[in-house]
Amino acid sequence: MGQYTEDEVNQALDAITNGMPIKRAGQVYGIPRSTLQYRIKGTQPRSIAFSDLQRLSVSQEAKLAEWVRIQHALGVAPTHLQVRLFAERILHAMGCTEPIGKGWIQAFLKRNPSVKVQRSRPIDSRRVNGASTEVIRDWFKLLAIPEITSIKPANRYNMDETGILEGQGSNGLVLGMS
């Protein structure tokens, strides 16, 4: 049996609750019978069972994923390094000085499917030269996320006028919305 989602496990458990035999539910939903038997006995899914071992709590990771999505919406999607540093700053604020592990980013992405790796694209000089105050104002009017509207106009800057993205990773990979 291949990969299955938590939703599929829950659907299979619902079917079992409604009278379907465990073996049949496993076949229909593609879930090992042993997994269903363990779940019926109360075993937690791995994502929940091992959540206490995560460096950041589930709610902290949710906020970090939200920050990544907001940065992506603003056009300044963070690199892997920037997300790692942000996570370490959260840990440091909690009194933990130990750095996060090498595979933390991959695990973070797996736990937060709303965030994915994307290739960054520098701004073309034609776009910069075609920008005007009116065009930028219209763009901000269309951008209706509260994180933008709460920023005072005096604190909004367009720093990228050469097509070079400062601070971006050498491989051009950033994190953004999936």
Q: What is the rounded distance in angstroms from the CA atom of residue 68 to the CA atom of residue 83? A: 8
Q: What confidence tens digit (pLDDT) does each residue in 148-175 have?
A: 778 887 887 665 544 545 455 556 677 7
3-state SS class at 115: strand
Question: Does the pLDDT at position 23 exceed 50?
Answer: yes
Range in 37-46, 51-60, 70-79, 109-118 with the lowest mean pLDDT? 51-60
The model scores a pTM over 0.85: no
The reported pLDDT for the residue numbered 60 is 92
The secondary structure element, H or E, covering residue 8 is helix 6-17
CATH topology of domain 6-43: Arc Repressor Mutant, subunit A (1.10.10)
For the chain, what are the domain ranges?
Answer: 6-43, 52-122+163-177, 125-155
The answer to whether 34 touches 20, Cβ cutoff 8 Å, is no
45 pLDDT band (50/70/90 cuts)?
A: confident
